[in-house]
Every structure is written in C-alpha cells, then in structure tokens.
Structure 1
C-alpha cells in the first residue's frame, strides 16, 4: 500500500488557513508537490512547504468564478505536469439568518462559493486526472451536510448539496480510476468558527457543547482523514461520506 505521495501532485482550495492549510502541509509531509489556492494572496504557505522539503505554488482563485478555476488547474499542470489529488475545501459560512430572513444576496453567494465552487473544481480537475488514469478527490462538506442547523439555511443547503454531488460524481468516475469522497467535519478550531463565536466564552461553550467529546476538533484531525482517503489504503473507497466529529451527528 502507498505510504507516501512522492512525485505526486495535490491541489488544495481554501489552502491558506484552517483545514485547508493543515491538509496542504499534510500532503507536503507525505512528499507531494502542492498547489495551494485561496481567494487572497498568501506566500507564507509556499515557504512552509518548502521548509518541509517539498515544492509548492500559490494560486489566487475565487472558486465561484469559472475562469479562476480553469486558470487554477492550468497553472497547477503548468507548474507540476500532472494532478493526482484534489481537496476541494474552499467555503464560507455566509450570514446567520432564519430562512425567511436570509437575503437573496447571502443565499446566492453562499451557494455559489460552497456548492458551485466544488462543482467547478471537479469539472476541471477530473479531465486532468483522466489523463493519468487515476486520481482521488475529497470534497469538504460539514456535519451541516448531514443535519440541520437553525439560522444557516444557505450554508446547510450548500453542504447537503456537496454530499449529493459527491455521490453522483463518484458513480460517474468509479470505473475510470478516479475516487471521489466527502468529509463532513464537526466543530473545528478554524478562523470560521472564530467568526461564528466571536471568540466569546459563552459562544465557545455553546459550540463545544455540541460535541460529546467536549472540545473543538483540530484542523490536523480532518487533514489526516483527507490524506487517508487520497491514499492507496483507501483504494476501495468511493462515494463515501466521512463524518469527522466528536460524535454529535451519531446521537
């Protein structure tokens, strides 16, 4: 079974912070060359990966825009000559509001980044993987893709959509050597959760209280699941929905 990703290439969207950053570093530690995409410039990640002895490039990309996503994949191939793994992680939480109070602008932006963005990424990643005859894609949804959360209608709808889209694409690609899976993180210590809690003690306790384990998950814990799903150790796994949380989904 494959234990390293030497001479392989991984593309990580939303790779400048949080879960994406942890995944990009995890790929590099396994020996992969990494293309890091995010909506704002971040050269620090390239330096961190080079310190690990691997290669990396940074690509500025808004995953909701077709031309940005096409350019992202083109730049990855131009730099490294191939694409073996993709972690489609970029996403936003949108604004908190009930279904009737959710604005059309918030709905459109959240769906566009979270759901359309992952569709666009796969649309342009898959043809490059087909050239290699093999590949692995992991999409990032959320436990909100499995259950409802009051006050986040657009976010929850987008994450449920990612789960369904992943299952469909997995069926389409299964006999072409490309595996497609989805991780559904629980409450993870990231800039997104900092924004949702405002870093207030009361809000933090409310969110950690959702997890039976009693703490936030760590980005590195999600990254470990992503690495496994991309590895040959998961060669029989496709269309799988992996909830990575402290147990509240199972309650």
Structure 2
C-alpha cells in the first residue's frame, strides 16, 4: 500500500557501519528510510526496528547493487511503500586490501563491479526517479588523497565514483537535484577493522589531528546535511576525515 510522506531516502548498505548510522540519522530528521542490505537481512531488520521504535518509518529491502534488475526492485519498493523517492545515500561497497603487485585480478574485478558498476546502477535509477529537491550522496574515500599502500584497487574504484558524481551533478542541470560524494577518512567500522592489528589501528588513530578514528555518526552528520539543508553544495567531494592530510 502506498503511503505518502514528506521525504523518502534509500540508504544502500544500511544494515551496518556508516549506512546504518546514516539511516538512523535521516530517520531522526523525519525522513522515511528504505534500508538496503546485500547479505545481512537480520541487521537491516534491526535497523528498521530501531527507527520504528524511535517513531520513524522504515522498510528493509535486499539486493545486489550491481544488478540493475534487483536495484529496480529496490526503487519500486521505495515508491510503493512511501509514494516517491527524494534521497539516495549510496554507502554500499567492498574493500579487499593487497599491494597492486599481489592482488589477483578476480578480486580487482569484484571491487570494480560492486563499487563502480554498483554506483553507476543506483545513480542511474536515482537520476531517473528522484523528485525535485532531491539529493544523491555517493561515497568515495580520503585514500584517494592519502595514497595508502594496499588500497590500490579500492582507491581506483572510488576515483571512478568521484568522476561519476561530478559528471552526474552537471547532467542533472535544471532538475533541482544535488549530487555529491562524501570521502571519509579512517572510520571505526567493521570494514575498516578487518585485517588490521590493534597496533595498526592505534597508529592510524594517533596520526589524525583529532587523535582518534572517525565514527559512523561523524559521517552521518555530513550525510544528513547533504540530504537535507545543504542545497547549495552540489558537484563536490567532501573530505570528512578529522583533518587527515
């Protein structure tokens, strides 16, 4: 049953990390949220329950971001549940790490499929279906500036995300839809902690001018700004990293 609401957001990767924090933050602003998940349905449903317990509105929908048919179903579900779509927050992505000389090409292709094709697929649908006044928020990474060894495939994929973002912002001229990318620095999420020793984590945190890792909530504040009041920010990559060089 279709029920209209003031503002509706799709958050890909909304079952955990930055995606979950963004979904909760947008819901706190009164936005109805479609919590997308790839494999962790239970965590997505937990996010939905947390939003509903706080008085918000949400549903969970699964799918592969790089599969255009599954993402079409995601957008259809959002419109059916809430009457339209205003915001896309695309946090879903993968980050296998290895030196370029050692990374197998199958892994490289998987990173590009999820991170680049996935962004293209959901951005294309958003460009076709977001209402006027809408916002697309993609996710890049501060590693494109920091050039950290081991991140070659991931940084390459996010460089492509930035290109898609900046061009789409210009292509949507006259539509009153903003398109930006958030580029977090090291952030305390399972994706970041994977494969790192405590010594490595402590060293990365200490190197930041703020002497800590970012939190998903830190990033979600910027997402909420771009998704709502930040209407004069368009075609930009925002580095949200506590001052990392």
1:117 aligned counterpart, secondary structure:
helix
Q: 1:218 and 2:215 equivalent?
A: yes
Q: How does 1:146-165 map to 2 (within 5 A)?
A: 146-165=145-164
TM-score (norm: length of structure 2): 0.93
8 A contact 1:102–1:153 mirrored in 2: no
Deviates more, 1:61-70 or 1:106-115: 61-70
The aligned residue for residue 67 of structure 2 is 65
Q: Does 1:31 align with 2:27?
A: no
Aligned to 1:107: 108
Gaps spanning 5+ residues in structure 2: where?
none
Query: Which residues of 2 match residues 159-178 of structure 1 at below 5 A?
Result: 159-178=158-177
Q: CA RMSD in A?
A: 1.3
User: Do structure 1's residue 241 and structure 2's residue 237 form an aligned pair?
Assistant: yes
Q: Which consecutive aligned stretches of 4+ in structure 1 deviate over 3 angstroms post-superposition?
A: none
Contact kept? 1:10, 1:86, Cα under 8 Å: yes
Cα distance in 2 for partners of 1:243, 1:70 equals 30
SS at match of 2:93: coil
Contact residue 14 and residue 39 of structure 1 kept, 8 A: yes
SS at match of 2:138: strand
Unaligned runs of 5+ in 1: 1-5
Query: TM-score by structure 1 length?
Result: 0.91
1:76 corresponds to = 78
CA contact (8 A) 1:145 1:163 kept: no
Aligned residues: 238
Q: Take 2:212 and 2:133, find their aligned partners in 1: how far apart are those partners?
A: 37
- Cα distance in 2 for residues equivalent to 1:112 and 1:209: 33
Tell me the distance in 1 between the aligned counterparts of 2:113 and 2:173: 26
Q: Is the 8 A contact 2:143 2:151 kept in 1?
A: no
Write the deviation string for residues 208-248 of structure 1: whole angstroms up to 9, x where unpaired.
134222111010110000110111x3211100110001212
* Distance in structure 1 (CA, Å) of the matches to 2:195 and 2:235: 30
Match in the other structure for 1:3? none
CA distance in structure 1 between the partners assigned to 2:144 and 2:192 by the alignment: 16
C-alpha distance in structure 2 between counterparts of 1:234 and 1:9, whole Å: 16
Shift, 1:201, TM fit:
2.3
